[in-house]
Amino acid sequence: MGHSQADKAGSRERILKQAAQQIREAGLESLSVNKLMRSVDLTHGGFYGHFASRSDLLAEALESALADSQLKARSFGPMVRSYLSRSHRDSPGTGCAIASLAPDAARADESVREVMDRHVEGFVTIVANALALHEMADEGADDEALVAVSAMVGALALSRVLTDPKRSDAMLRAVREHLLALDPQAE
Amino acid sequence: MGHSQADKAGSRERILKQAAQQIREAGLESLSVNKLMRSVDLTHGGFYGHFASRSDLLAEALESALADSQLKARSFGPMVRSYLSRSHRDSPGTGCAIASLAPDAARADESVREVMDRHVEGFVTIVANALALHEMADEGADDEALVAVSAMVGALALSRVLTDPKRSDAMLRAVREHLLALDPQAE
DNA sequence: TGTACATCAGTGAACGCGCGTTCACTGATGTAC
DNA sequence: TGTACATCAGTGAACGCGCGTTCACTGATGTAC
């Protein structure tokens, strides 16, 4: 097996990406160092060559999850449509970590919470910019962004709870339409 | 100590209420049977005289948490104001279990998810009724209720993540004002 | 009302298990000559 | 280019711990006479 220094960076990356997916699918608490290492074909002992502790890994994995689920800067309409889509709802492991992990982060330790805090603010800024591109004063754009982000995160999380596919779809559709109506320039 | 049959019902109730609070504060995964029993001044072995398993307790505790955080049927304005208040944000242990546990429930087993599903629908119905009291057709009321519930749940969860008190307050205020504007009859 | 006895709520030791973490080790990598 | 050696990525046994669950038990409750 690989023991080169180049391999090491690769291993770290694979561990981190797997962790980023697993926490979004199963929650922060459910992540097990043993299972995680097994899932990237390594033994558990090697973990501590890459991370100082499980707790450190969690903060880094959350950062990674939030970074790669960050929506590309886009205009408001496409952003809302893609966020509140069935495909996003059905793939939490690669989707927005705010929607899957906000409550987990709120009750986690300081370092994890700081990461989530920063990315929530980042998301609000992106949405505010998309809205400010046309029409609004900055102040109004921030308030509207807070509303849009709340509704998007809430709707996605709740759509994953609803068992009846029709109701789950209705949740996404109702919020999508409501938010699109906020932005007069939405196509 | 009490060994009467009357005491038993009381013990069960105390265990359940404690569990309902603990899961809202620390998440479903974090609940430990040992710690829970210790927190109600009983020994861990006695747990199985009241519940078949930890998993069974979780479903019952979630039901209990959702039931006692159920907002009284009220008109829309006061409901929104109390839901999106600082005091609600600052006491998750006695607050809405949807906001603290929706993602946890989405990845939990069938029985837990069913409980959450049912109460989300219940919440939507209550809000739809509050909105339908004045003005709207039922269809429109349901869609507006889906929007209001998403935004309330999302805003409460996110306000608990934001570290800066001003930003956390701004989150609550922006969504509160947006939702109150939806209902022309709000005082 | 008082005694004898069955019930059963709650106790606490014991179980097997998986956890996070440590550490002496192996053997491929990659450098020095 | 070929050999000798240091490095260090990854291995896997071992640690102490808390978990969910079981079970033989204790002793207060409450019933029968």
Tokens representing residue B31 in the block: 């609940």
Which among B102, B27, B66, B95 is positioned nearest to A162, based on CA atoms?
A: B102
Check residue A33 and give its pLDDT: 98
The amino acid sitting at A164 is: D
Other beta carbons within 10 Å of B66: 23
Residue listed under structure tokens 């690989």: A2
> CB distance A149–B154 less than 8 Å?
yes
Mean pLDDT confidence for B119-132: 94
pLDDT at A1 over 60: no
For B153, the closest of A104, A158, A177 (CB atoms) is A158
Count helices and strands in chain A by DSSP H and E runs: 9, 0
Q: Which of residues 8-47 of B touch strand D (CB under 7 A)?
A: 31-35, 44-45, 47
Q: Residue range A135-146: average pLDDT?
A: 81
Report residue B71 as tokens.
Answer: 């907002």
Q: Are A110 and B163 in contact (CB under 8 A)?
A: no
User: A146 and B170: CB-CB below 8 Å?
Assistant: yes
Q: How would residue B137 be classed by pLDDT, with cut points 50, 70 and 90?
A: low
Please write the tens of the pLDDT for every residue from B107-125: 999 999 999 999 999 999 9
pLDDT interval class at B1 (50, 70, 90): very low
Closest CA to B46 of B95, B1, B98: B1
Residue whose pair of structure tokens reads 């209550």 in the numeric block: B126
Question: pLDDT at position B3, please?
Answer: 75
Of A103, A116, A177, the CB nearest to B101: A103
Place of tokens 């069960």: B12
Q: Count CB atoms within 10 A of the CB of residue B56.
A: 12
Which residue has better confidence, A179 or A183? A179
Residue pair B76/B131 in contact (Cβ under 8 Å)? The answer is yes
Mean pLDDT of A91-97: 97
Average pLDDT in chain A: 93
Predicted local distance difference test score (pLDDT) of residue B22: 98
User: Which tokens in the block code for residue A141?
Assistant: 């754009």
**Are the Cβ atoms of B29 and A25 closer than 8 angstroms?**
no
Cross-chain Cβ contact B150/A105 below 8 Å: no
Which residue, chain included where needed, has tokens 């739809």? B128
Please state whether the predicted TM-score (pTM) of the whole model is above 0.85: yes
| DSSP letter for each residue of chain B | ---SHHHHHHHHHHHHHHHHHHHHHH-STT--HHHHHHHTT--GGGGGGT-S-HHHHHHHHHHHHHHHTPPPS--HHHHHHHHTSHHHHT-GGGS-HHHHHHHHHHTS-HHHHHHHHHHHHHHHHHHHHHHHTTT--HHHHHHHHHHHHHHHHHHHHHHTT--SHHHHHHHHHHHHHHHHHH-TT--
**In the predicted model, is pLDDT for residue B72 greater than 80?**
no
Q: Supply B172's token pair.
A: 């609550």
B55 neighbors B111 (Cβ within 8 angstroms): yes
Mean pLDDT of B56-85: 92
Q: Which among A26, A30, A151 is the nearest to B151, CB-wise?
A: A151
Give me the residue label for tokens 């969860």: B157
> Residue A62: pLDDT above 80?
yes
CA-based nearest distance B58→chain A, Å? 16
Q: What would the mean pLDDT of A13-30 be, rounded to a whole number?
A: 98
Instruction: Please give the C-alpha separations between residue A149 and each of A121, A138, A141, A156, B12, in angstroms, as whole numbers.
Output: 10, 16, 12, 11, 40
Q: Which of A126-140, B29-43, B78-92 has the weakest average pLDDT? A: A126-140
A55 vs A3 pLDDT, higher one: A55
> What mean pLDDT, rounded, does chain B reach?
93
Q: How many CA atoms lie within 13 A of A65 on its CB side?
A: 34
Tell me which of A110, A146, A168, A178 to substitute to probe the interface with B (most B C-beta atoms closer than 10 Å).
A146
Q: What is the nearest CA distance from A172 to chain B, expressed in angstroms?
A: 9
C-alpha span between B178 and A34 (Å, rounded): 47
> Can you give the C-alpha Rg of chain A in angstroms?
18
Q: Quick one: DSSP state of residue A123?
A: H
Which nucleotides of chain C are near protein (any atom < 7 Å from a CB)? 8-14, 18-24, 27-30
Residue A51 above 80 pLDDT?
A: yes
Closest of A152, A126, A121 to residue B175, by C-alpha: A152
